[in-house]
Every structure is written in C-alpha cells, then in structure tokens.
Structure 1
Amino acid sequence: MSEFETIKYAIDDGIATLTLYRPDRMNAFTPVMMREMISAFDLADADDAVRAVIVTGDGRAFCAGADLGLGGDTFDYAKRGGKWGEDSPMRDDGSVDFDHPGIRDGGGKVTLRIFACKKPVIGAINGAAVGIGATMTLPMDFRLASDSARFGFVFARRGIVPEAASSWFLPRLVGISQALEWCYSGRVFGADEALKGGLVRSVHALEDLLPAARAFAKDLTSESAPVSIALTRQALWRMMGAAHPMEAHRLDSRMIWSRGASGDAKEGVASFLEKRAANYPDRVSNDLPEFSPWLDDPAW
C-alpha cells in the first residue's frame, strides 16, 4: 500500500483501489487530495500488474465536495494568488491572465487525468457525492452506487458553475436535458434517480458495493489484452467528441494495422484455436504504438 495523506491506494489481485480518506470531513476535496489522486493514477498506469482501478470513499461519504473551510472565500481564488496557490495569474494592472496555469480548475486536473488513464476506471459510490464529488466520477467508465448514495451538481446553489470539465462529460453521459435539469436546480438526488437518469450502472446494498465493483472489474479485464483495453478506452472516449466518423476510421485503421502484427494478436488467435486461456505478452507500460489516441492531449 502506498502512503498518502488524503487517500489510500492498494493493489489486490490486479485491481487498484483508490479510497478517498478524509472521513472526518466526509472526504471533502482539497489541493492535497487533487495532487494525490493524480499521483495514484500515475502509479496505476505505470504498473502492469494493475488491470483496473476502483475509486471509492472511506466512511459514510464518497466525497462531499470542495472543503468549505474558508467560508465565503472558498472559491475566491484571486485572494489566494491562484486556483491552488500557484504563481498568481494577476497582472500588475489588476487584470487576469486567463491563459495562466494558476487559473486552472483543480477538479478539472483530476478529471483530465482520469480521462487519460490507460486502465478501466470504476467508481464505487458509497455515500454522498456532491459537487466535485459528483463531477470527478464522470470520466470513470462506470459508476456503481450504494442504495444510500446521493448525488448533487450543486454549483448554482453555491453561486458558481459546474467544473471539472463536467460541461463536456455530463451531457455525453446522460443527455443535455437531464444534465441541465440537475445543474440548474442544484438539488441532491438519490441512487434510484441516478440509475434512471443514466448516471450510474447499478445500485447495491452498501455491504455488496465493493465486492460487486471488484467482480465487475475482473469480468472486464480477466480475459482481455491490457494494451487492447488501453487503446479501446481512449479511442471510444475521444471519438465521442469527433466531428466526423472519418476521424474514427483513421484512428481505427492505424490501431488495427499496428495491433494486427503484435504478439497479443498472435496469442489471441492461437489461444482461441487451441481452446486455452490466453497469455498476452504485450505490456501497457512499453508496448503502446508510436501513435496513440493520447497524442492530442492539450498542453495547458
């Protein structure tokens, strides 16, 4: 188990579990948690023993949103010299340099890191998931919820707006009208409504949630080639924003050409014909093709 301050990170039987760990504050999000979550996903991507990542919370909450310990100044980043204390984006004349890294939304840094992950990511939403606690789950491939989980895109009720790139993710997951209803009202809703609205895949008794997430992760990855999963994850996510199917055709063609000559492809066919379990030789850490869906990551 790796040592962190605000999260726990452990690997068991090929599954990494990232647990938000500030139970006394309902796992409220902080700059330290932001950095530690990003570091944990870096670890997962670099470790070929990890086939999937589960994200959950410790205690009665998943994540109750941003830590509001600063009261009314919580979201006044100019007073703090930047979004998370970086060099100030304020110019000498008092204007704001909106291209400065210091204005970047910390929740967005986390969701973009999850978006770029090379392993399947499953959210096991054990309790309240509000604000960033809800939006950080959107780039996860699947969300499973306990029957006591509650969700809220509460930004308009706090005088701010949805963050963590949720304006891109949420409508693609649940449709524009459902996304707008939840964001306009800012109300908190239960797991059954989240299931009906397409936000979560399934609802479970709390004691069954993590076992269900682990079983699902094993089902997704136990017989599939890790490099194929990595490329498939990125291709499907990124093509949701493509302007024309020709973009998908170009990427598909490159990937099929590259993977068709791989050791994984030879093993996949041989194991099928020989009616045995496959032993894929390629590794995510060093066998991704020279081109990849990750190459269009923005630099900012």
Structure 2
Amino acid sequence: MAYEQIDYAVDGAVATITLHRPDKLNAYTAVMGAEITDAIAQANADDAVRAIVLTGAGRGFCAGADISGGAESFGAAGPNFAAPDRPRDGAGFVGALFDSAKPTIAAINGPAVGVGITLTLPCDIRIASDTAKIGFVFARRGLVPEAGSAWFLPQLVGLPQALRWCLSGRVFDAAEALAGGLVSEVLAPDALLPRARAIAQEIADHTAPVSIALTRQMLWRFAGAPLPFDLLAVDGPFAQRLGAGPDVREGVAAFLEKRAPAFPGRIATDMPKGYPWW
C-alpha cells in the first residue's frame, strides 16, 4: 500500500509510524486508520523489526477526527469511516495494535484528543511531550468513546480515573496524564522521540522476540480475567515448550557469560505450538 497520510520507516530494529497530516494537526481519517493497520502488519511481517513507535508529524500528535465536513464527518460516508478503496478489516487499527506480535510505543508529541488519544490505548507503552494536551472529549461532541476505549482506558488507569476524564470531556495536560497513569514518562519535546527509540532499542537488545510476542498477548488478554486458571492453562505449556528450546539456552548462557544475548527464535517460524490460543 502506498501511504498518503502516514510515513513508515525502519531504522535497525525499530519501525516508526508517523501520522502525517501536519497542516491539520494529523487529524484522523479512515484512510489514516487503514494505513496504520497496514503499517503494523508490515512491521509484524518483518523479523528484523523488534518494536514499533507511533508518533505524529509537526507540533501535534493527532487532533482527533477530521471535522472539516462538520457534523457529517461522523456519518457512515464521512471521512472518519469511509475509506475509498480501503475496506475496513475487522477491528482495524485497534485490532492490529492489540494483536501485534511486536511491542508498540506511542510517543505523544502534542495535542491528542478524541480518537487522537484512544488510538494510543492499545499500545503497550505511552510517553508524552510536556506540551501534549489530552482529552476524551466525546461527550462534549454528543458522541461516545470509540476505538474500544471504554474497555482499554479502565484497564490502564482504573475505572474511577476513566470515568473522571470521560464524563467531564475536558482537555488536560501531560502532567495530569502522568499522575493518572495514562503515560509513563513526560519529556521535553526534543527528547521524546529519542526516548521512545531508546525504549524500543532496549527491548531489541535484551529480549527474545518469541517471548515478547507471547508475553504482551498474555498480559493484555488475561489482565481482566476474574480468575488465574485460564491463564495457568496457557502459561504452563508455553513455559515448558520455551524451556526446552534454543532461546532459553541462549538466554541462560548469555547471563552466565555476562554478554548480550543473540536469541535465534523468530516470530515468523518459531512460535510454539498452541499460539495463538484465542
């Protein structure tokens, strides 16, 4: 797919997806959503890519849905839902991020409101610039939280905080996002992307790709489970299968020899029997 509204670049082990409508503060459209979905699939298919960074071009991350067409922007034929020649594929970018075998890091470099913030919720790590402004503004537009955010947000910050932000619909700063647990770090604007890439590189340098793919799915899919027993039926067999494999032998040897590991396992060919279990 030739991208119109995002940029996709790979530098070493890190793929960077940049929302790229800077003249509109990267306002979201269905075309952008389809392109994000495709780029995540591209990164997942590339064994050289170990982590994905999602950020925005210019001074904004994503100012929310493109409302240049007024209220009609949210209709079934509007730019936020209709993507000519780009059919919706299941859960779209939400499903692509959630099902990703590679860890995802959102570097929120400026305003992120509405879908501009909810599209980051399926990411594994969120960090923000100290210039970021964030808002779950749906009730102030007569809408409801979308992109699965009524599930993701309470998972991340707890129900009381999610209710506080969603019921007020107000815009808040990066310091409040940090205090509320929505982001894990707040940095100066010019330090944000280097920090995101450093986090991604740490994952690439020290962890096994197969282990990471399994771990992020186990955490996301079982975090809200009422009991641990369905998870025990999954993690035990995986621990045994990985324990008898070359990645564990390499991980232990690297630890004992005090060197960086070179894990041989690849997501494309070496996922253990039983994956995916859902």
Give the TM-score band, short-chain normalised.
over 0.9
Q: Which has the larger radius of gyration?
A: 1
Residue 261 of structure 1 is aligned with which of 239, 244, 264?
244
Query: Match of 1:277?
Result: 260
CA distance in 1, matches of 2:129, 2:186: 5
Q: How does 1:241-256 map to 2 (within 5 A)?
A: 241-256=224-239
Residue 119 of structure 2 is aligned with which of 129, 133, 136?
136
* Residue 120 in structure 1 maps to residue 119 in structure 2: no
Q: How does 1:1-300 map to 2 (within 5 A)?
A: 3-77=2-76, 83-84=81-82, 109-292=92-275, 294-296=276-278
- 66-75 or 119-128: which moved more? 66-75
Does the CA contact (< 8 Å) of 1:3 and 1:9 recur in 2? no
What amino acid is aligned across from residue 158 of structure 2 in structure 1?
Answer: G
CA distance in 1, matches of 2:231, 2:41: 27
What amino acid is aligned across from residue 161 of structure 1 in structure 2?
Answer: V
Query: Match of 1:94?
Result: none
CA distance in 2, matches of 1:83, 1:28: 13
**Number of positions where the alignment pairs a residue of Structure 1 with one of Structure 2:** 275
Does the CA contact (< 8 Å) of 2:63 and 2:114 recur in 1? yes
In structure 1, list runs of 5 or more residues that go unmatched: 87-100
What amino acid is aligned across from residue 235 of structure 1 in structure 2?
Answer: M
Q: What's the offset of the Cα at 1:64? A: 0.7
CA distance in 1, matches of 2:2, 2:75: 31
* Shift in alpha-carbon separation, 1:177–1:113, aligned structure 2, 3 A: same
Q: Deviations over 1:160-208 (max 9, x none)?
A: 1000000110001111111011111111111011011110111111011
CA distance in 2, matches of 1:276, 1:203: 32
Could you state the TM-score of these two structures normalised by the residue count of structure 2?
0.93
Q: What's the offset of the Cα at 1:72? A: 1.4
Does the CA contact (< 8 Å) of 1:21 and 1:58 recur in 2? yes
Does the CA contact (< 8 Å) of 2:50 and 2:203 recur in 1? no
SS at match of 1:222: helix
CA distance in 1, matches of 2:22, 2:69: 19
* Shift in alpha-carbon separation, 1:83–1:6, aligned structure 2, 3 A: closer
CA distance in 2, matches of 1:278, 1:126: 33
Q: Which runs of 4+ in 1 moved over 3 A?
A: none
In structure 2, list runs of 5 or more residues that go unmatched: none
Could you state the TM-score of these two structures normalised by the residue count of structure 1?
0.87
CA distance in 1, matches of 2:48, 2:135: 35
Q: Deviations over 1:107-133 (max 9, x none)?
A: x52122101111111110000001010
Q: Deviations over 1:195-229 (max 9, x none)?
A: 11110111111011111111122223311111111
